[in-house]
Amino acid sequence: MKRVWMALGLLAFALAGSTISTFLPHRLYGKRIAGQVVDADTGKPIGGAHVAFFWQSPIIPSGFTGHNSRDICYHAAATVTDEQGRFAVPPWRKWSTFSVFVLDPIAIVYAHGYTPRQIPLLEGDFKPPEEKMNERYALRRFSGTVDEHLNVMWGGIANHGCMYGGESQKSLFPMLKAIHDEAKRIATTSVQKKEVGGYAVMAANAAIAANPNGPSNDAEVERFIKENLQ
């Protein structure tokens, strides 16, 4: 019986510590990632491709709960490939009060005229981030209707923001603007043109580093779109 009470006491202490960690600053970090983007059919490098990484995690429960916790993206980093299709993002560290797991990110790869991809870098069980220096992402030329192209660029790509990433969101703007510009060029019907507005909102949110816990930024988003995305 003594051992049972000791185990319960340790569990309560752990839960209390988890609750406190929600408010105490602690280190979040990501490791260096580098690689190349190539054409899936020819193997040739794709210069000017956008590569973005999203570090996200379920919120760690602060006590007994039967509900699944929601995911949040707590950091983002994006870059553009050189003429040889090569890219690199540096390691990063920052203080945060988010109670999240520190994991490898999800990669999103986009190039004009290609089918974009979402690629999870985490394999298997949760584990700390690892340096990845030889990533190779292959994109295939898109073939299909305008509606299909808009859908594939939107779902899980253009609509994948990082609202809890703070200033790191701003690195996503060049990619989101490029996607918006392509969507705007190919949209011809009134419905398609209306959909382009959603791309503009996501790009603007990244550019102004929208804060989901702050006051409404609708006016700022609208102003940014008028000045930069029309």
The CATH number given to whatever domain includes residue 61 is 2.60.40.1120
Of the given ranges (59-68, 123-132, 160-169), which has the lowest mean pLDDT? 59-68
Any idea which of 36-45, 94-103, 194-203 has the lowest mean pLDDT? 94-103
150-172 per-position pLDDT tens digit: 999 999 999 999 999 999 999 99
Query: What domain range is 60 assigned to?
Result: 25-228
Length of the chain: 230
In a domain, 125, yes or no: yes
pLDDT > 60? residue 8:
no
Let me know if residue 35 belongs to a domain: yes
The four Cα atoms 40, 107, 124, 65 give a dihedral, to 10 degrees, of: -150
Better pLDDT: 24 or 115: 115
pLDDT recorded at residue 62: 63
Establish if 13 belongs to a structural domain: no
Distance CA 139, CA 205 (A): 27
In angstroms, rounded to a whole number, what is the distance separating the alpha carbons of residues 200 and 177?
7
What is the mean predicted confidence (pLDDT) over 95-105?
A: 89
Is residue 3 over pLDDT 50? no
Tally of domains in the chain: 1
β-sheet bridge partners, residue 107: 53, 119
